[in-house]
């Protein structure tokens, strides 16, 4: 009899965990959805049961009960999207709900890109935790930030002592929870950094199992050389590398992504762990100083203004700005450079350099455009949108198996300025334009590029995939309706089609509306002590 009772107990222990058994209860069930699990595998029909902050069960839950049941019929149930490149510190403390991201299904944001990060990392992460935000949050430590802490914005090599101090700061940041090291080698002071210095700092990140993510030195005329430098850093420092917001800028370089991707493929065949991220637009956004040569920016904004006051220096700077409008971010036309945010004169926002020159009653020439750029800098600067990429390169890079999706955007303050539409539309644009309308990617591959592949790259081992026991970061969207509405002329428009979003098991988007919930968590890198 005892043996029979034991057998019953054993059978019971095997049967009870199976999906759909009567008596099972959950906090939330999503019934009848089309599961795209983030691995790239084909979709399948199943229910999802959430208990606390975890996916407790996937399968047939027809006999189970829950405090909230969502009808997933006709909807896609996917892992919450993870954005590996944002500048979301711009706005997150003013708009902790991060509506522009959550309404796209994005559940995790990363900060500290392009070599510029909050600092110290530990203090920043404590501030995020105390604020309470809707998405999860992780950061990289910026090489440019570290360099500025030690030697300022000077164009010179560090001494042995200064390099040692920088390595110590990187180590401290990794121990405080940074995901890895980011560089912005196009920007001052990163632009003054030799490859060997970056390798030494990357070795420190590697010791803490971190990654290296880089805005490369040049994405225009020096594109291929910059890809090779990125590969070299990963190979010699011994850590995973990511070429961030990969693109081919300037008409002169359109089509050269064929060669840049070939370099990536060759490196991967040699065993170098290199990947890519990209936003799905043909325009970039950054400071108006992107049109100014880096040597002129040494020492910071005050020194740049001093150089502009010197007639000979101003002439030299004008010549290089003309070149950059013709052959770099200007895309060959002053119409291609549009002011996005200008604190000192809001009337300039949304106008191109050509528009402003015309308003001044001047002829639209490269020289007049260069003079205008210098005038804007002297008056207080601005952010600008640069239309200088080709759709064929965007599509080619997007289809590459090593590419994941990233916005490179900030947390939008609705109605303020003329931001890049990527802040509102990146992930929805991929699902609507490139999956449904163009058929460029399968639904499963697109979701993998927005969730599982990014989680793997960032070392987030219990997120990014719909799997029992993993954290319940979930996006539920209508594949027929999901799309971006934001445009370059009218960017302040939320994406549509995402019906429900869970962050750490809490509904943050319910029937297409933000609930106001702020359950986001700080996600630490693998080296945290």
Residue with tokens 């300025």: 417
Task: Name the strand (E) or helix (H) holding 366.
Answer: helix 366-379
**Would the pLDDT of 12 be above 50?**
no
**Would the pLDDT of 494 be above 50?**
yes
pLDDT digits (tens, 9 = 90+) for 356-410: 999 999 999 999 999 999 999 999 999 999 999 999 999 999 999 999 999 999 9
Which strands, in side-by-side order, build the sheet including 337-341? Answer: 283-287, 383-387, 337-341
Would you state the torsion angle of the CA atoms of residues 90, 91, 94, 99, taken in this order, to the nearest 10 degrees?
A: -160
pLDDT digits (tens, 9 = 90+) for 20-73: 445 799 999 999 999 999 999 999 999 999 999 999 999 999 999 999 999 999
Q: What is the topology classification, in CATH, of domain 141-243+246-277? A: TIM Barrel (3.20.20)
pLDDT score, position 335: 97
pLDDT score, position 20: 43
Degrees to nearest 5, angle at CA 493 with 492 and 499: 145
**Would the pLDDT of 426 be above 90?**
yes
pLDDT score, position 22: 56
pLDDT band of residue 469 (cuts 50, 70, 90) is very high
Whether the ω angle into residue 120 lies within 30 degrees of 0, i.e. cis, is yes
pLDDT digits (tens, 9 = 90+) for 103-124: 999 999 999 999 999 999 999 9
Q: What is the topology classification, in CATH, of domain 19-113+406-518? A: Urease, subunit C; domain 1 (2.30.40)
pTM given for the model: 0.93
Tokens of 290: 């992107």
**Would the pLDDT of 237 be above 80?**
yes
Residues with Cβ < 8 Å from 7, sequence gap 6 or more? none
Helix ranges, 380-421 (H): 391-399
Contact 220, 152 (CB under 8 A): no
Average pLDDT rounded to a whole number, residues 177-203: 97
SS3 426: helix
The domain limits of the chain are: 19-113+406-518, 141-243+246-277, 286-387
Q: Which of 23-27, 90-94, 120-124, 351-355 has the lowest mean pLDDT?
A: 23-27
């Amino acid at each position: 009899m005892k043996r029979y009772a034991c057998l019953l107990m054993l059978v019971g222990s095997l049967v009870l965990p199976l999906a759909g058994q009567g008596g099972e209860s959950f906090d939330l069930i999503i019934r009848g959805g089309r599961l795209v699990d983030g691995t790239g595998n084909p979709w399948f029909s199943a229910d999802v049961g959430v208990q606390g902050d975890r996916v407790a069960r996937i399968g047939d839950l027809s006999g189970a009960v829950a405090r909230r049941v969502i009808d997933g019929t006709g909807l896609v149930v996917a892992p919450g999207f993870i954005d590996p490149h944002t500048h979301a510190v711009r706005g997150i403390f003013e708009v902790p709900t991060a509506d522009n991201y959550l309404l796209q299904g994005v559940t995790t944001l990363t900060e500290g890109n392009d070599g510029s990060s909050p600092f110290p990392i530990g203090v920043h992460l404590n501030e995020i935790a105390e604020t309470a935000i809707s998405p999860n949050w992780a950061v990289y430590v910026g090489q440019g930030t570290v360099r500025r802490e030690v030697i300022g914005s000077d164009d010179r090599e560090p001494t042995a002592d200064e390099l040692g101090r920088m390595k110590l700061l990187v180590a401290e940041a990794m121990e405080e929870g940074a995901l890895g090291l980011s560089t912005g080698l196009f920007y001052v002071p990163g632009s003054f950094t030799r490859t060997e210095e970056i390798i030494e700092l990357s070795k420190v990140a590697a010791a803490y199992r971190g990654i290296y993510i880089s805005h490369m030195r040049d994405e225009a005329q020096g594109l291929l050389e910059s890809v090779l430098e990125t590969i070299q850093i990963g190979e010699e420092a011994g850590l995973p590398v990511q070429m961030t917001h990969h693109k081919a800028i300037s008409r002169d370089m359109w089509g050269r992504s064929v060669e840049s991707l070939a370099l990536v493929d060759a490196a991967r065949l040699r065993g170098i762990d290199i990947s890519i991220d990209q936003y799905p637009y043909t325009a970039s956004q950054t400071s108006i100083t992107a049109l100014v040569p880096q040597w002129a920016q040494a020492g910071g904004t005050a020194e740049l203004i001093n150089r502009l006051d010197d007639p000979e220096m101003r002439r030299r700077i004008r010549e290089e700005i003309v070149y950059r409008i013709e052959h770099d971010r200007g895309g060959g036309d002053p119409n291609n450079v549009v002011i996005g945010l200008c604190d000192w004169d809001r009337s300039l926002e949304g106008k191109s350099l050509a528009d402003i020159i015309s308003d001044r009653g001047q002829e639209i020439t490269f020289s007049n455009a260069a003079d205008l750029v210098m005038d804007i800098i002297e008056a207080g600067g601005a952010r600008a949108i640069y239309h200088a990429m080709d759709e064929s390169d965007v599509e080619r890079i997007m289809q590459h198996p090593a590419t994941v999706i990233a916005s490179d955007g900030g947390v939008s303050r609705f109605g303020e300025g003329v931001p890049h539409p990527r802040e509102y539309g990146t992930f929805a644009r991929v699902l609507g334009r490139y999956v449904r309308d163009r058929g460029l990617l399968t639904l499963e591959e697109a979701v993998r590029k927005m969730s599982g592949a990014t989680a793997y790259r960032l070392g987030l081992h219990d997120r990014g995939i719909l799997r029992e026991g993993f954290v319940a970061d979930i996006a539920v969207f209508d594949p027929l309706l999901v799309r971006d509405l934001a445009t370059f002329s009218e960017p302040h428009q939320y994406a549509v089609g995402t019906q429900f979003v869970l962050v750490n098991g809490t509904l943050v988007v319910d029937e297409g509306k933000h609930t106001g919930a702020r359950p986001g968590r700080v996600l630490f890198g693998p080296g945290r002590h």
